[in-house]
Structures are given as structure tokens and as C-alpha cells.
Amino acid sequence: MSDTATAPAIRAVVLDMDGLLIDTEPAWRAAETAVFGELGSQLSEDDMLATMGRRIAEVVAHWRRVRPWPGAETGEPSDAAIADRVIDRMVAHVRARGEAMEGADPAVALLRRLGLGVAIASSSSHRLIDAVCDRLGLAWIEIRCSADDEVRGKPAGDVYVTAARRLGLSPTACLAIEDSPSGVLAARAAGMLCIAVPDRFLSGDPRYREAQLILGSLDELDEAALRSLGWRGQNEEG
């Protein structure tokens, strides 16, 4: 963890959302399977894992190019319209059946109790982020950043840079927590230290090694883990 030696004390934590706070990754795969199937393109589990963590509009554009469905060359329906169909399914799922990931509730409560700033930096759209915050009782998290607002999505660090700016901090004073390899790369590209909580289907991906700490679940997040990455209690800050 040599990166922590010269980093400023951590003052805020920036959280990914899908697969970290809420168990939506299987729902994403189901929604994509259904929508692309309706278009005439059959995607495998491995196909969808390969695009995990990317903006849905980018996913649609990728498969239009790589695995075109009948009539894909006409551009109708548009990438945005297809993405909206997937997001509609996701919002409906979250509102009806969304469940917090293991350890998410106590982890977020810990961050709040310690007085750390908290933000969300997600590849998902604002309407899905808002639906998740409503479902999980996270309305108090006011800084919600979507990569839809950025020129570049993850693995570029843009959404994390925006989150730090809105927190009023340097990225180096923020700790990111991510579950996807592209998210880890995004956090590191922004200049943040990162904790990875790997998706179970991707746990062997070497990109997770870019994180400063790897946890099996958010249940393992505690004060000792935060201290190991540079957090100091409020009475210790100088």
C-alpha cells in the first residue's frame, strides 16, 4: 500500500452503486437479455460480464457494432431508446424487489457515524440512482454522480473527479469503493485510493490488483480497514 504513504488523510468515501450497494447485477443481465433478445440478439452471461460497469448506452453501441441484430444498421431504434428500455426494466425491478448487498447497510452507517463525506459515482442513469437511494433509505446522500453526465464513462476517472469536486475535496482525499474491474480502474485514474469488493463472477480479474485493499464483502469494512488507507479520526486530524 505504498500509495497511502504520501496521500492526504481520507475525508470522504465515494461509492459505486450497482453490485456494491444494491444487488442489481443479475437484474442488469436479465434486463439486457430480454431487451436484446427482443431485438434479435442473444447475449451470453460472459458477453454481459465483459461489459459490466460500463454505461448502458455504451453497451448498446458496443453490441450494435460487434453483434448486430437484424436491422441494426438502420439505427432504429436508437441506442438511447434501447438503453431507456433496459433502464425502465431496472427501475421497475429496484422499486419492487431491490435488495441491499451483503454488508451495505452497516458499511454506510459506519461511514456516516465516522463523519466522512459520502457520495455515489455510478455508471447508471440518474433515475436509477434515485430509485436505488429511495429503495435503500439513502436519501441523505445528496451527492449522486452519474457517468451519463461525463464525456467518458468508466474506466475513465471522470465521474470520480466530478464526485470529488462536488464534495469540495481533492480526489486524493477521497476513497473509492468498487465492485467492478472497470470501476477500480476509474477510481485509480481519478487519483483516488480504492477498496475493491469483487463481483463473484469476476474475482480472478487481474485489474482488481490496482485496488489498495480487496474485501470479500462490505461486512469486512471497519475502522481498521479505513485507518490502513489513511483515515484518521476527527480528533486526530491536523
From 173, 145, 149, select the one nearest 160 (Cα to Cα): 145
Alpha-carbon distance of 129 to 158, in angstroms, equals 17
Q: Are 77 and 118 in contact (CB under 8 A)?
A: no
In the chain, the N- to C-terminal Cα span, in Å, equals: 22
Residues 6+ apart with CB under 8 A from 50: none
DSSP secondary structure of 37-84: HHHT----HHHHHHTTTS-HHHHHHHHHHHSPPTTGGGT-S-HHHHHH
Chain Cα centroid distance, residue 156? 13
Alpha helices in 119-180 (DSSP H): 126-136, 158-167
CA separation, residue 210 to residues 51, 96, 182, 189, 207 (Å): 19, 36, 10, 10, 6
The catalytic site residues sit at 16, 18
